[in-house]
Amino acid sequence: VDYSLCWLEYSKIDDEPYREKLSKVVKNIIAVGQDKFTQTAVEELKTAVTSLVGFEPEVSKEALCGDNPISGIIVGNVTDALIMKYISDDEIQKLDEEGYVIKSVKENPGLVVIGSKNGHGLVYGAFSFIKHIQLKRDVEEVHIIDNPKCKLRLLNHWDNMDGTVERGYAGRSIFFCDNKVTNSLGRIKDYARLLSSIGINGVVINNVNVNKNAIWLITPKYLGDLAKLADVFRQYGIKIYLSINFASPIYIGKLKTADPLDEDVIKWWKETAKTIYEYIPDFGGFLVKADSEFNPGPYKFGRDHADGANMLAEALAPYGGIVIWRCFVYNCTQDWRDTKTDRAKAAYDIFKPLDGKFAENVVLQVKYGPMDFQVREPVSPLFGGLERTNQLIELQITQEYTGQQIDLCYLATMWKEVLEFDTYAKGPESKVKYVVDGTLFNNKYSGFAGVSNVGSDKNWTGHWLAQANLYAFGMLAWDHSFTPEEIAREWCVRALTNDPFAVETIVSMLMRSWRVYEKYTAPLGIGWMVTPHTHYGPSVDGYEYSKWGTYHRADTKAIGIDRSVKSGTGFAGQYHRENAAMFESMETCPEELLLFFHRVPYDYVLKSGETLIQHIYNTHFEGAEEAEKLKEDWVKIKDYIRKDIYEDVLERFNRQIENAKEWRDVVNSYFYRKTGIPDKYGRKIY
Ligand code: BDP
C-alpha cells in the first residue's frame, strides 16, 4: 500500500532473545469459535506475528492435541469449554461487554489465552496482545483484564461529499469523492484496523454541517454504498453514524415543515429510520448540529432542542439507534458593540433548563470548553451542570486552532487537564472524567467524541507526529487513567522508533508542545486572535469587530472579558459553588485563564512578579524560541528516524518556526503600540 499503517506497521523485533521466547508462544493460533470477530482477531494476530517475529503461525480450529498441552495462543469466547478451562469465574465476572482477558497459563508454559464475552472484546484482546509484544512486554507471565471505561468512543469526521474535509489538514476525505461514497475499501479496512486497535467503536462519517448531496445520505441513493462501508467497519466492532440535516423532511420528503411535533414529520423520520436499518442493521444513529451556525433546527418551528432530539430518538429507538445532539449552539450574528451578551454562556443557558427532558437514547455532545476548541479554555459548565442527561465530551483532534498539523501540538496534555477538572457536582471528586465515563450520574450512554484529524495523506494526519493525537484520543476514551506521557511513549515506540534516546527526545517534544503553542499565540485564555476563516496565523483584531461573539476587547489600559457575577457577564456563576468562587476573583482564578474571566490592566502584577504586559512579551519570545528548540531536538535524532519521515517533519518544523515568529511579532507589536510600554529586557518589538 502507498500509505503508512502508523502503529500497525510491524517491523521485525530486533531483540533476539525476546523473539526466541515469543516464538514458542506465537507459533500456533487456536481459534475456538467460527464467528467473524474470531476471524478478525486471528487474521490480525497472524499478520502481526508474521512480520514481528518472522514466520507465519499455524492456525487451527482444534483444541489441544489430545490431552497433550501444546503452546500457542487460544482465542475464544469465555463460554467455550476450552477457554473456561483456563479462565476463572471470578475473571469472567470482571469482564464487561467489550472487555477481554489475556492470560498466560501457569501450568502450561507457552500457552496464552485471549478470551472475551462477545466478539468485539476478542478483537480488542488481539490488538492488545499485539501491542504487548511490540512493546516487548513479558509473555511468560501475562495477566490482563481490561474493559473500556466509556461506552461510546466515537470519531466525528467533518468530511464533505465533494471530497473536501472541513478543518481537515491531512488531504482529501477517505470516505467521499466527487459526491460519491468511496469504493476504496482496502483503505477503509486499514482505517478500521487502526481505529479498532485504539478502541474506537463508532465513526460519524460526514460533516456536522449537512448540505447539498450529504442531505441525501440517509436515502437509498447512498445507503447501498454506505452498507458496504458498514460491513468493513463491523468486522472491527465499529458502527457507522451519519450527521443529518434537521430540515430533511422538507428537502427530501417534500413536506411543508420539519416541525418535530408534526405528525407527517414524525412519520417521515420513522420511515427513514426503517429504511436505513434495512440496509445497515447495526447503524449507530444520528449526529445533529441544530440551530447552530445557520443549520436548521427545532427553533425554526417554535420548538426546543428536547422536542427535536426526542422525536428523532423515537424513530431510532426500535432499532437500538441513538441521537447525538450537539450543544454547540449560540448566536453567531451577535453585534460586537453589545457587551452584555456572552457567547460563553449560551450552551448552559439553553441546555441546563432541558436537563432531564431528553429521551433515554439521546446523548448531548458538549465541546470541552464553552467557546470553541481554543488552545486554552475553562471546562464547559455543562459538565457537572447536566445531572440527568447522557453526555459525550467533544474534543477536537484536528488542530483547527492549535496549529493545523503544521505546528506540533500534542493535545493529550490538554485533554488530561480537562478530564481531571473537578466539577464539584456531587462534592469533591466529581471530575469530568467521571461524568464522561457515566459513573458520576449513572448514565446509560456517555463517552468521547473526537473531531478526526484524518485524511488521505500518506501518513493519515498531515504531520507525522499528529498521529500521536489520534492515538491518544483512542487511548483516553478507552481508559482515562492513562497518562499523556505513557501514551506518547507507547505511540512512539510502535510507530516511529524504539531507540531509547530518540524515544525520550520525542516524548519530551510532544509533552512540551501544547504549552509552546500556547505561549506564542493568544495569551492567558483570551483565545482567537487568528486569521479569520482559515484560523492559522495571527490577526489580533481579526474577529474583534465581527458577529461571531469572540472578543478580547483590548484597549490602551486593559484587556480581557469580565465574566464574574459581581461585575461582569455572570458566566462564572454557571459553575458549582467552589469553581464559581474560584473563577469569580482575580486572585484565585487560575492565571492561565485570567483574561477569559477578567478584564485586567496591563500593569497588573502576576504571580511570577511580572506585569501582564511583560508576561505577554515574555511568553511570546519564549514560545518562538522553544519552537526552534523543537526543531533542534528533531535534528538530534535524525539517525533514528526513517528518512522520508524525518524530512517531512523537518519541513513542518521550519514552517512552525516561521509561524511562531510571526505570532510573536504581531502580538508583541500590537500590545506595544496599544500601551506604549516597552519590553523591560529591551528585546526588539516592531
Ligand atoms: C468551528 C469550526 C467550524 C465547525 C464548527 C462546529 O470552525 O468549521 O463547523 O466549529 O463545531 O470550530 O460545528
The length of the chain, given as a count of residues: 686
Q: How far apart, in whole angstroms, are the C-alpha atoms of residue 367 and residue 380?
A: 7
What span, in angstroms and rounded, lies between the C-alpha atoms of 464 and 458? 9
- Reference 174, options 473, 239, 466, 186; nearest CA is 186
Region 496-559+599-686: CATH code: 3.90.1330.10
Residue 507 has pLDDT above 80, yes or no: yes
290 close to ligand 1 (CB < 6 Angstrom): no
- Residue 635: is its pLDDT beyond 80? yes
Residue 188 has pLDDT above 70, yes or no: yes
How far is CA 597 from its chain centroid? Answer: 26
Do the strands 600-601 and 558-559 form a parallel or antiparallel pair, or are they unpaired? antiparallel
Q: Per the residue annotation, which of 377, 400, 490, 648 is the catalytic one?
A: 400
- Does residue 420 carry a catalytic annotation? no
Does the Cβ of 372 fall within 6 Å of ligand 1?
A: yes
Question: 6-146 — its CATH code?
Answer: 3.30.379.10
Give 71's pLDDT tier (boundaries 50, 70, 90).
confident
pLDDT for residue 369 is more than 70? yes
pLDDT of residue 86: 93
Q: Would the pLDDT of 147 be above 60? A: yes
Q: What is the ipTM of this complex?
A: 0.99
139 touches 57 (CB < 8 A): no
pLDDT, position 77:
94
User: Is 372 tagged catalytic?
Assistant: yes
Q: Beta strands of 456-575 (E only): which ranges?
A: 558-559
> Can you give the pLDDT at residue 96?
96
Contact at 8 Å (CB) between 30 and 60? yes
Contact 120, 38 (CB under 8 A): no
Q: Is residue 118's pLDDT more than 90?
A: no
Q: Specify the pLDDT at position 137.
A: 96
> Could you give the CA distance from residue 101 to residue 656 in angstroms, rounded to a whole number?
44
Give percent above pLDDT 70 in the chain. Answer: 99
330 Cα–ligand 1 center, Å: 12
**Of 138, 293, 338, 555, which is the active-site residue?**
293
Residue nearest to atom 13 of ligand 1 (CA): 208
Among 611, 413, 530, which Cα is nearest to 167's?
Answer: 530
Residue 64 has pLDDT above 60, yes or no: no
DSSP code string of 176-240: EETTEE---HHHHHHHHHHHHHTT--EEE-S-SS--GGGGGGGSHHHHHHHHHHHHHHHTTT-EE
Tell me whether strands 100-104 and 143-146 are parallel, antiparallel or unpaired. antiparallel
Q: What confidence score (pLDDT) does residue 197 get? A: 98
Residue ranges of the domains in the chain?
A: 6-146, 152-483, 496-559+599-686, 562-596
If you measure from the C-alpha of residue 174 to the centroid of ligand 1, how many angstroms do you get, rounded to a whole number? 20
Residue 64 Cα to chain centre, angstroms: 42
What is the bridge-based pairing of β-strands 100-104 and 111-116?
Answer: antiparallel
The proportion of the chain whose per-residue pLDDT surpasses 90, expressed as a percent, equals: 96
C-alpha cell of 19? Answer: 523473539
Report the pLDDT value the prediction gives residue 119, as an integer from 0 to 100: 83
Q: How crowded is residue 268: how many other Cβ atoms within 10 Å of its Cβ?
A: 20
Distance 214 CA to ligand 1 centre (A): 17
What pLDDT is attached to residue 557? 98
Tens digit of each residue's pLDDT (9 = 90 or more) over 251-275: 999 999 999 999 999 999 999 999 9
CA 401 to ligand 1: nearest atom: 12
Q: What pLDDT was estimated at residue 70?
A: 77
Query: Can you name the residues that pair with 204 across neighbouring β-strands?
Result: 156, 241
Closest of 639, 630, 664 to residue 463, by C-alpha = 630
pLDDT at 63: 58
Q: Which residues of 58-78 are buried (b: 16+ CB within 10 A; e: fewer)?
A: ebeeeebeeeeebbbbbbbbb
| Three-state secondary structure readout of 167-187 | CCCCCCCCCEECCEECCCHHH
The residue annotated as part of the active site, out of 190, 372, 394, 648, is 372
Write out pLDDT tens, residues 216-225. 999 999 999 9
In the structure, what pLDDT confidence band is assigned to residue 158 with cuts at 50, 70 and 90? very high
Q: What pLDDT is attached to residue 65? A: 53
Q: Is the distance from CB of 71 to CB of 28 less than 8 angstroms?
A: yes
Distance 158 CA to ligand 1 centre (A): 9
Q: What is the pLDDT of residue 330?
A: 96
Grid coordinates given for 628: 526552534
Query: Which atom of ligand 1 sits closest to the CA of residue 208?
Result: 13
Does 166 sit in the ligand 1 pocket, CB within 6 Å?
A: yes
348 lines ligand 1 (CB under 6 A): no
Mark whether 400 is an active-site residue: yes
The dihedral sign for the CA sequence 374, 379, 381, 382: positive
Mean of the per-residue pLDDT values of the chain: 97
This prediction's pTM: 0.98
pLDDT of residue 551: 98
Q: Is the CB of 209 under 6 A from ligand 1?
A: yes
pLDDT for the residue 260? 98
For residue 623, what pLDDT is reported?
98
Specify the ligand 1 atom closest to the Cα of 207: 9
In three-state secondary structure terms, 617 is: helix
Cα–Cα–Cα angle for 592, 595, 598, rounded to 5 degrees: 120
- Measured distance CA(475)–CA(148) in Å, rounded: 9
Quick one: pLDDT band at residue 302, thresholds 50, 70, 90? very high
Pocket test residue of 208, 394, 543, 550 for ligand 1, highest count of atoms within 8 A of CB = 208
Residues 537-544 have a mean pLDDT of 98
Would you say domain 152-483 falls under CATH 3.30.300.130? no
Nearest C-alpha to atom 12 of ligand 1 is from which residue? 372
Q: How confident is the model at residue 66 (pLDDT cuts 50, 70, 90)?
A: low
Closest CA to 348 of 579, 593, 590, 575: 575
- Residue 61 has what pLDDT? 79
Rounded-to-integer distance, Cα 115 and Cα 3, Å: 32
Asked if residue 332 has pLDDT above 90, the reply is yes
